[in-house]
Structure 1
Amino acid sequence: METERFEALIDAILAIIITIIVLEIPLASTGSWESLFELKYEFAIYAISFIVCFNFWNFNNNIYSIVNRIDYKVIWTTGISLFVFSLLPYLTTFVAENFYLFFPQFLYGLDFIVTAILSLLIGKFLIQADPGNIALQIAMKPQPMYGTIIIVIIGMIIGYFAYPPAIIICCLLSIIGVWTIPKLINV
């Protein structure tokens, strides 16, 4: 199967997820800076969730730009990944309303980890579906996903014992690391 329609589906689902996240941001109670500042956690978690969504889109866009063929394993694993990822709007609101509690932060990080694990599986299945694609084999190095999982688990440990927002901070740091560390190593 070719990938254009599948890429369009992924783009549409991500657009819906981002729209839901935006719609979940509460309005300021008055037109003052103070009431807007009261929503600092909502805006912070929204910004992080937007970056997470953009990262997910960017990853898929970069990978599918070099993929020639997909099969049912890729489709179903990506569908499961999108389902897990679609919990992000709920988790964004859950964290925003309970910013310093471990459990909401833990669920946000767990969503991040499960999505990374599913991305590893998708990479494996993409290579199987398109075995002659050398560019795909080079692009699907698993180390960045392993790094993401490790960084978020470290955040969970810190979050459990000391500071729950460390989890969401580590989610953000893992995205920054995935896109910058390989560039620094290849320089």
Structure 2
Amino acid sequence: MESDRFEALIDAILAIIITIIVLEIPLASNGSWEALFELKYEFIIYAISFLVCFNFWNINNNTFALVNKVDYKVIWTMGITLLVFSLLPYLTTFVAENFYVFFPQFLYGLSFIVTGILSKLIFEFLKQSDPANIALQLAIDNNHLILTTLILVVIGMIIGYFAYPPAILISCLVSIVLPWIVGAIRH
């Protein structure tokens, strides 16, 4: 299967997820700064969830730009990944309403980890489905971001469990921003 329609489907699903997340932000009870400030956790978790979605889109967009064809393993693994990813609006609201509670933060981090593991599988299946594509093979072989992400989020979960539950969100954010910073330093 050609990858263009598949990419369009991924883009559409991510657009819907972002739309649902932003629609879940409650309105301020009145027109005051205080009422808006009361929604600080909703805006913080929205911003992080938006970056999570954008990062997922960016990685997939850059990867699929190199892909010539996909097979059923790639399609179904991406489908399962998007199923997990589609829980992001719910988890965003769950964390916003329970910001300092470990369990919602843990579920948010767990979805991040599961998405990372499934993405790693997708990369392996892409390599198998298009072995003659040298550019794809090199791009996927040099991708250590997923492992770094998994390690950072697990560290955040440990800190979150024992000391400060928002450490999980912070670790998710750091795992997204760190590659940008490292990339900027290298150039």
Q: TM-score range by the shorter chain?
A: over 0.9
1:148·1:178 contact (CA, 8 Å) conserved in 2?
Answer: no
2:151 corresponds in structure 1 to 150
User: 1:112-144 CA distances to partner (integer Å, 9 max, x unpaired)?
Assistant: 000000010000000000101111112113421
Equivalent runs, 1:27-42 vs 2, <5 Å: 27-42=27-42
Deviation, 1:181, is 2.7
2:48 corresponds in structure 1 to 48
How many Å separate the matches in 2 of 1:172 and 1:109?
A: 10
Is residue 66 from structure 1 mapped to residue 79 from structure 2 by the alignment?
A: no
Query: Which shows bigger deviation, 21-30 or 132-141?
Result: 132-141
Deviation, 1:15, is 0.5
Residue 121 of structure 1 aligns with an amino acid whose one-letter code is L
TM-score by length of 2: 0.96
How many Å separate the matches in 2 of 1:82 and 1:11?
A: 11
Deviation, 1:182, is 5.0
Residue 135 of structure 1 aligns with an amino acid whose one-letter code is A
Residue 178 of structure 1 aligns with an amino acid whose one-letter code is P
1:159 corresponds in structure 2 to 160
How many Å separate the matches in 2 of 1:47 and 1:116?
A: 19
1:120·1:142 contact (CA, 8 Å) conserved in 2?
Answer: no
Question: Does the residue aligned with 2:151 lie in a helix, a strand or coil?
Answer: helix
Equivalent runs, 1:89-100 vs 2, <5 Å: 89-100=89-100
How many Å separate the matches in 2 of 1:36 and 1:44?
A: 12
Residue 74 of structure 1 aligns with an amino acid whose one-letter code is V
1:126 corresponds in structure 2 to 126
Residue 12 of structure 2 aligns with an amino acid whose one-letter code is A
How many Å separate the matches in 1 of 2:92 and 2:48?
A: 9
Residue 180 of structure 1 aligns with an amino acid whose one-letter code is I
- Residues matched between the structures, number: 186
How many Å separate the matches in 1 of 2:123 and 2:73?
A: 11
Question: Does the residue aligned with 1:70 lie in a helix, a strand or coil?
Answer: coil
Residue 161 of structure 2 aligns with an amino acid whose one-letter code is Y
How many Å separate the matches in 2 of 1:135 and 1:177?
A: 24
How many Å separate the matches in 2 of 1:166 and 1:183?
A: 25
Deviation, 1:178, is 3.1
Among the aligned pairs, what percent are the same residue? 73
What is the Cα-based RMSD across aligned positions, in Å? 1.1
- Structure 1, unmatched stretches of 5+, are none
Question: Does the residue aligned with 1:132 lie in a helix, a strand or coil?
Answer: coil
Deviation, 1:179, is 3.3
Residue 42 of structure 2 aligns with an amino acid whose one-letter code is E
